[in-house]
Amino acid sequence: MSAVALGQAPAERPDPFATPAGGSAPRRPRLLSHLGRWGRARRWLGPDALRILDVGCAFGYGSAAIATGAAPGRTVVGVENNSEHLEPAQRDFPWIKVIDGDAERLPVRDGCADAVLLLDVIEHLADPSHAISEARRVLRPGGTVIVSVPHLGLLHRLDALNVYSALRRRRPSWPPLEPATGSAGGVHRHFRVRDLRALMEPQFEVRRMTRTGLGLEELVYLAALLARVPSGRERVRRPILILHLLLYLLDDAVVWGPLGYNLTLLAQRTDSPA
C-alpha cells in the first residue's frame, strides 16, 4: 500500500498530472495501441480525455501503448503497487509517470483525471466496489471509466488461474501463483453483465459495452503456469507466454456477444452521490 494513500488526507493528495514525466513518448503508435484491451480503451477514449489514470498498469506497456501517438496534450499516469512491476515500468517507459498506489486507495487528488482505466483489475479484489468508488472520486464531473473483466460466459471454466489453483490444492508442493496474478479469496472472478452494471450504478452510467474472445488462449496460459512446476523451465515458458499473447490479441478482436470470454464497458461519472 502506498504511504501517500495511508498517510495523507484526500485534500492533501497530489495531482500526478501537475508534474510531467521525463522523456518524450514515441510518435509512432505501438502494436498494442491498436489491439487487445489497450487498443479498445484507446479507441473508446474521447478527445476530451487528456488526463488518464491507468490503474493496475503492471509493467507499463499498456500505459505506453495508450500514450504513444496520442493527441497533443494527452497524459497517461500509471498506478501500480507490485514492486516487481513498478520498477521495470518506471525504467522502461520514462515518458510515462508510474506511481506506487492501490486501486482501492488511490494516492491522487479528487477530480484530477478525465478518465480512469481499470483493465483486468477488479476481478482480483475482495470488494471491487472500493475500486469503483475510488475511480469516481478521482474523476472530474462527467469523466469516464473503462473497465475490463473476465465474462461469466460459455467457456469461463477454462480460466487458467482458477484451474491451476484447483490443481495446486491437490498438489501443495507446486509453486503458488505470482502475487500479481493472485486473487483475493483464491478465485479469479468472472462477471455477468448485470453484475458489472450493478457494481457501476448509480455512481456511473454505462454508455458502451462489448464481449469479445472465447478464451481459448487460457489453455495456452495454463501450459505456461504448469511449466513453472519443474525448476529450470523458464526457456520453455517464455515462448508459451508469447504464444498466449498472440492468441489473446487475435481472439479478442472477435465480438462474440453472450459467448464472449472478456467483458469491457465504458461508463460516465454521474452526479449521484458515491
pLDDT of residue 5: 42
Which whole-number Å values give the CA distances from 12 to 6, 109, 110, in the listed order? 11, 7, 10
pLDDT of residue 1: 38
- Same domain flag for 175 and 195: no
pLDDT of residue 2: 40
Number of domains in the chain: 2
Q: Is residue 40 part of a domain?
A: yes
Q: What's the pTM value of the predicted model, to 2 decimals?
A: 0.91
The domain spanning residue 112 has which CATH number? 3.40.50.150
Rounded distance between C-alpha atoms, residue 42 and residue 33, angstroms: 7
- Same domain flag for 144 and 44: yes
- Same domain flag for 204 and 249: no
pLDDT of residue 207: 97
- Same domain flag for 198 and 123: yes
- Same domain flag for 174 and 241: yes
pLDDT of residue 73: 83
Q: Is residue 22 part of a domain?
A: yes
Q: Is residue 99 part of a domain?
A: yes
- Same domain flag for 25 and 114: yes
pLDDT in tens, 69-122: 677 788 999 999 988 888 888 888 888 999 999 999 999 999 999 999 999 999
Omega prior to 202 cis, within 30 of 0: yes
Q: Is residue 274 part of a domain?
A: no
CB 110 within 8 A of CB 137: yes
What is the domain range of residue 194? Answer: 3-151+190-213+259-269
Interstrand relation of 75-80 and 97-100 (parallel, antiparallel or unpaired): parallel
> Could you give the dihedral angle defined by the CA atoms of residues 155, 157, 162 and 167, in that order, rounded to the nearest 10 degrees?
-130
pLDDT of residue 6: 43
Nearest in space to 207 (alpha carbons), one of 140, 130, 128, 144:
144
- Same domain flag for 22 and 131: yes
pLDDT in tens, 238-254: 899 999 999 999 999 99
**Burial (CB count <10 Å: 0-12, 13-18, 19+), residue 182:** middle
- Same domain flag for 58 and 171: no
Nearest in space to 94 (alpha carbons), one of 1, 9, 24:
24
- Same domain flag for 25 and 61: yes
pLDDT of residue 271: 82
pLDDT of residue 200: 97
- Same domain flag for 111 and 209: yes
Q: Is residue 51 part of a domain?
A: yes
User: Residue ranges of the chain with pLDDT lower than 50?
Assistant: 1-7, 274
